[in-house]
Amino acid sequence: MQFERDPRKTKFYNSKAWRRLAKHYASSKGYICEQCRNKYAKSDIKPFYKQFHVHHKIELTAENIDNPDIALNESNLMLLCQHCHNVVTTQKEVLAPGLEFDEKGMVRKIWVKEEKQSRRS
Ligand SMILES: [Zn+2]
């Protein structure tokens, strides 16, 4: 089973503990990408902070997600802008249903071929 689809991961990212930590961590870094120092951050995206991701250096797995020393440890975190986050996590992160990464690491919609309804006669 792919952990990417594990509901525990969704539950973790929606937890108060994670949200509080991620917010605290991001503001403690001043919303400056630790990878590119905001070279790739786009100041025209509003609100500005929305394009940042708090990334786990040691990727969360079914084995470690319940371990706060990994899942909720600031030394395992990294603040990344949208661009750098995509590069670092290509193909690995959870995406909302219907979304996928393209070859450049950008999010795109999965094109679903719709069943054509029979023509009206
Ligand atoms: Zn960056």
What pLDDT sits at residue 117?
54
Provide mean pLDDT across the span 3-18. Answer: 88
State the Cα–Cα distance between residues 40 and 52, nearest whole angstrom.
Answer: 11
Dist. CA 41–CA 108, nearest whole Å: 19
Mean pLDDT value across the chain = 83
Given pLDDT bands bounded at 50, 70 and 90, which one contains residue 26?
very high
The two most distant CA atoms of the chain are separated, in Å, by 65
Q: What is the pLDDT of residues 43-100, one digit of tens each?
A: 887 888 888 999 999 989 999 999 999 999 999 999 999 888 888 876 554 566 667 6
pLDDT (0 to 100) of residue 88 = 82
Give the Å distance between the CA of 64 and the centre of ligand 1. Answer: 26
Please state, in angstroms and rounded to a whole number, the distance separating the CA atoms of residues 105 and 30.
25
Distance 119 CA to ligand 1 centre (A): 49
Contact indicator for 83, 54 with CB cutoff of 8 Å: no
Q: Quote the DSSP letter at residue 111.
A: P
Residue 51: which residues within 8 A CB-CB, separation 6 or more? 41, 42, 45, 81, 82
Cα→Cα distances 2→55, 58, 73, 74, 77, Å: 19, 17, 24, 26, 23
What's the gap in Å between 57 CA and the centre of ligand 1?
15
Calculate how far, in angstroms, residue 120's C-alpha sits from the geometric centre of ligand 1. 52
Taking the centre of ligand 1 as the mean of its atom positions, its distance from the CA of residue 10, in whole angstroms, is: 24
How many whole angstroms from 33 Cα to the centroid of ligand 1?
A: 5
Expressed in angstroms and rounded, the spacing between residue 115 Cα and the centre of ligand 1 is 40
